[in-house]
Amino acid sequence: MISIVEFSRIMESGFLPLSCDCTLSKDGSLRIRIFEPESGRVDLLLTGVSTNVLDSIRSISNLIGELRTEIKAGRRGFAAVG
């Protein structure tokens, strides 16, 4: 997997003007929170995201595309990805 710092940077740039906060859990899974920075409104919250398939810029870009679709569909989050 790409480092969490680089992953976070890519994710943040993919959701502008929204903010994105990515944290790595003790079990190795990711928690991704996409939110509106001024109000703090959470548009999408994901926990338990597997890092196994996030090993390239392309795979992260695909994830961003999928999550943008989820946001447009009005979903607030789901348990896991990939």
C-beta separation of 33 from 40 below 8 A: no
Band (pLDDT 50/70/90 cuts) for residue 82 is very low
Q: How far apart are CA 37 and CA 52, in angstroms?
A: 29
User: ω before 37 within 30° of 0 (cis)?
Assistant: no
Q: Minimal CA–CA distance to 9: which of 23, 25, 20, 24?
A: 20
For residue 29, the one-letter residue type is: S
Residue extents of the structural domains in the chain: 4-78
Q: What is the pLDDT of residues 4-62, one digit of tens each?
A: 888 899 999 999 999 999 999 999 899 999 999 999 999 999 999 988 888 889 999 99
